[in-house]
Structure 1
């Protein structure tokens, strides 16, 4: 063990990139604290000289390019040899560490205790082991990881920064959030659109001033971010040197950026940091300040730490959505950043392979899972006809289509599909709708935790909860959340989500224009279709309702139904006396969502489109018939704030459903005037709301 007072000369070598040099600063600080009287010579790369040229603890700075010719390397060796250093700490274990003689050196072999993981810890361990030997306990090491020393930031750089901020209208005490989006590799660079959304969130939700910084090479990328931002941004890109950047980081309330040296500086200075990580292993190179979040996704191929993507898809960085980063921002602002450290499930599969409405009502589960497991890779398995409901969902990383009626109809194709799922390496599967084949698939795929209901092959599950949905004591959305209690999630959200796509919006705009519907025209959609005859309000009443809306309110009505129920629409068109618009068989689910977003109201039987309308914020009047708890509005009704359920249950028990022998009296009891009254009120309130 070296006696600090006996050490006269120390050589500290960090001939690497900026991030690595910053991660070595705790080692440099340790050397100074341990040997306060020693003269420290630093050998640093050209890009990192700014960390040491004004550092009060660096007696001499030698700037040396590790790619220099052999002649220059030999000259450096001779120069260093003459100094006769007592301690040599070479963070990269170069030739010089081996060739130079000294009483104390860091170990030639990079062997670290299990509790030394991050590279800043590894660098510090090299310095500690050089002076104290490798027999250091975890507690001792933690104590030796001392306070940070910002004195390397020169006063002239701090003054120059203040002058620059003054030019941008900012005062000395103004708080701001710093965005550093640049990265040395395109594989590490997140999208400009994503950063623009993050900037907007800071400005609008939190009222923060946002400063964006970077070097000259980032100017085009930063310019794109600033152009997309909805409010002005303080753009300092290309206007600061390294010292000024360090001063800027030191003043920032929070730093958000890509995997870069700037994030390492923020970590060393112990600023709150949110880092966005792609191929880099954040356990080794992630942010290490006392308050930090590494936003990343557990993709199968990552972290690879490669300079080129082996798959070409850049999935590690491409699957990170603005929601992921905004969630990190929210948790950081609320002081709950520890939630991002949860690693219980790296890859989660949500399964819902039944009908349209069922899948829409399952979307709150996906969002809550994302909020509780931010870094997990979350996929959802659905049937082909419901794919568009979840494609583009920002809380999902992958949509898996299971076609039990065609592609995966037979035994061998089902077995092959299970092998495909096995290759995706899911840790947990949440089966929201029980079927024997799905339960078998989860088992054959080798998914560790298989959570579902105790029906239809529940023995293939690891945890099966009692199936009580038929009792209808609460909404389907709430029933879905029962399964999440197994994952220690007690939240219940009723926020449905249906992505709106630009292509679908354009299709609807063009379709309405061809039908003569102007942008300011009000529009009501009517869906007379449903999956069962016991859900169909009489077509005569739909026709009468349509006539009254168009005559009394002067509002255009469009009839929508899928191609399979076009005959229902045709019956209505044969009965009406006015001229409603025909949208039957014209809309995919994505386009239907865009249409409903354009409408002032949807009037519908109990069916999937009801929940699509709720998801896009359009008020709904939903007509129910059957008097069964498991099929009641309490379980299946629309859940929007302005939605109305019309339900006149009859004393029929047991309900014979589509075999009804009473002419569907429950549905026939719903009068046109009753529905019209609700429509009149909703449309009047909607018009008043738009006027305000």
Structure 2
């Protein structure tokens, strides 16, 4: 294996997919410890990606369709950096073309979406759901003869925790239960009102602080359903950056959520999760997309409406020992 000196890893899709690639980033850095490791990510993820210790630099390429001119500009910027290895984790004709035009000597990726522009490829078998997404990402390193000894997720937000406590008036002694009720896919949505019923039930326990989180677009729905309905609770929907959300999850005892990016963010920080899944949707089952690591709870049923508030409440009480 040649001693690569300047390596580019690309994962430009969503939060969860990106985080589940971090063990592969670590494996590459351990295989080539003297190399400079640069990640190309969606701009939304840049600040968070800078908290991954094995990365030397983070650059951006948006997760959208690009014009030919934009692709050529990106390829030109990569050529100037003189990368000698590129690993593309989310197959894309645009990314494959950019890496080829950049003249990167070794280009690793999947044998699809103009995969002929790459020169180290494997078949994309993710649709079969035979293993977890973390394991599929590590499989992509086989053409480089890299095997990972450590497959844990890792993210460094320790320095942000104290700032979060001050900004949002969180007590160091609080047992924080963070709830993320939202999903971009209606098929994966546990009834939102049940999340709020859960928050109300939890908030009556002394020492328990319920924190509701979500993106800005969920603020109005959260205000309507949540404000004033749960004591000792705080609604932070639309009020945090990704790094601030990470710091809140780091401080939490547990996250309750449907299948979503914050689940993998919490798992990256060592925070326990309780995740509600449908187990009948091809491509979206917990075997591939469940929380990675130990200490997590998955409740999976064919119909999410069959998951009761009482069942989820019982799992949270087990984590909190209340």
| Aligned partner of residue 267 in structure 2, secondary structure | helix
* Residue 543 (structure 1) aligns with: 196
Alignment of 1:40-79 (within 5 A): none
| Aligned partner of residue 602 in structure 1, secondary structure | strand
How does the TM-score come out when normalised to structure 1? 0.45
Q: Is 1:509 matched up with 2:146?
A: no
Alignment of 1:563-602 (within 5 A): 563-573=216-226, 576-578=229-231, 580-602=233-255
| Aligned partner of residue 349 in structure 1, secondary structure | strand
What is the CA distance between 1:553 and its match in structure 2? 6.1
Structure 1 pair 511–383 and aligned structure 2 pair: CA distance change class (3 A): same
Q: Is 1:680 matched up with 2:320?
A: no
Alignment of 1:177-216 (within 5 A): none
Structure 1 pair 466–667 and aligned structure 2 pair: CA distance change class (3 A): same
* Residue 321 (structure 1) aligns with: none
What is the CA distance between 1:537 and its match in structure 2? 1.0
Q: Is 1:415 matched up with 2:60?
A: no
Distance 2:275 2:213 in 1: 15
Distance 1:575 1:436 in 2: 49
Q: Is the 8 A contact 2:199 2:230 kept in 1?
A: no
Distance 2:6 2:236 in 1: 41
What is the CA distance between 1:574 and its match in structure 2? 6.0
Q: Is 1:494 matched up with 2:151?
A: yes
| Aligned partner of residue 630 in structure 1, secondary structure | coil
Q: Is 1:360 matched up with 2:23?
A: no
| Aligned partner of residue 628 in structure 1, secondary structure | coil
| Aligned partner of residue 52 in structure 2, secondary structure | coil
Structure 1 pair 560–404 and aligned structure 2 pair: CA distance change class (3 A): closer
What is the CA distance between 1:464 and its match in structure 2? 2.2
What is the CA distance between 1:591 and its match in structure 2? 0.8
Q: Is the 8 A contact 1:390 1:499 kept in 2?
A: no
| Aligned partner of residue 523 in structure 1, secondary structure | strand
| Aligned partner of residue 82 in structure 2, secondary structure | coil
Alignment of 1:9-158 (within 5 A): none
Distance 2:257 2:294 in 1: 17
Distance 2:185 2:150 in 1: 29
Q: Is the 8 A contact 1:389 1:499 kept in 2?
A: no
Root mean square deviation, CA, Å: 2.0
Q: How many residues align?
A: 322
| Aligned partner of residue 576 in structure 1, secondary structure | coil
Q: Is the 8 A contact 1:501 1:590 kept in 2?
A: no
Q: Is the 8 A contact 1:539 1:568 kept in 2?
A: no
Distance 1:641 1:572 in 2: 33
Q: Is the 8 A contact 1:359 1:389 kept in 2?
A: no
In terms of Rg, which structure is larger?
Answer: 1
Distance 1:470 1:564 in 2: 30
Q: Is the 8 A contact 1:597 1:618 kept in 2?
A: yes
Distance 2:22 2:5 in 1: 20
Distance 2:220 2:128 in 1: 34
Alignment of 1:197-236 (within 5 A): none
What is the CA distance between 1:577 and its match in structure 2? 5.0
User: After TM superposition, what 4+ stretches of structure 1 lie above 4 angstroms from structure 2?
Assistant: none
* Residue 671 (structure 1) aligns with: 308
Structure 1 counterpart of 2:273, from 599, 620, 623 = 620
| Aligned partner of residue 430 in structure 1, secondary structure | strand
Alignment of 1:160-559 (within 5 A): 343-403=2-62, 405=64, 409-491=66-148, 493-500=150-157, 502=159, 504-513=160-169, 517-552=170-205, 555-559=208-212
* Residue 217 (structure 1) aligns with: none
Structure 1 pair 386–577 and aligned structure 2 pair: CA distance change class (3 A): closer
Q: Please, which runs of 5 or more residues in structure 2 have no aligned partner?
A: none
Structure 1 pair 404–548 and aligned structure 2 pair: CA distance change class (3 A): closer
Q: Is the 8 A contact 1:534 1:626 kept in 2?
A: no
What is the CA distance between 1:343 and its match in structure 2? 4.7
Kindly provide the CA deviation profile for residues 529-569 of structure 1, in whole angstroms up to 9, marking residues without a partner as x: 12211121111211111111112565110100011222442
Which protein has the bigger strand share? 2
Distance 2:112 2:279 in 1: 24
What is the CA distance between 1:354 and its match in structure 2? 0.3
Q: Is 1:631 matched up with 2:284?
A: yes
Structure 1 pair 603–371 and aligned structure 2 pair: CA distance change class (3 A): same
Structure 1 pair 568–594 and aligned structure 2 pair: CA distance change class (3 A): same
Structure with the greater relative contact order (CA < 8 A, sep ≥ 6): 1 or 2?
2
Distance 2:285 2:128 in 1: 10
Q: Please, which runs of 5 or more residues in structure 1 have no aligned partner?
A: 1-341, 650-665, 688-692
| Aligned partner of residue 139 in structure 2, secondary structure | helix
Kindly provide the CA deviation profile for residues 233-268 of structure 1, in whole angstroms up to 9, marking residues without a partner as x: xxxxxxxxxxxxxxxxxxxxxxxxxxxxxxxxxxxx
What is the CA distance between 1:392 and its match in structure 2? 3.3
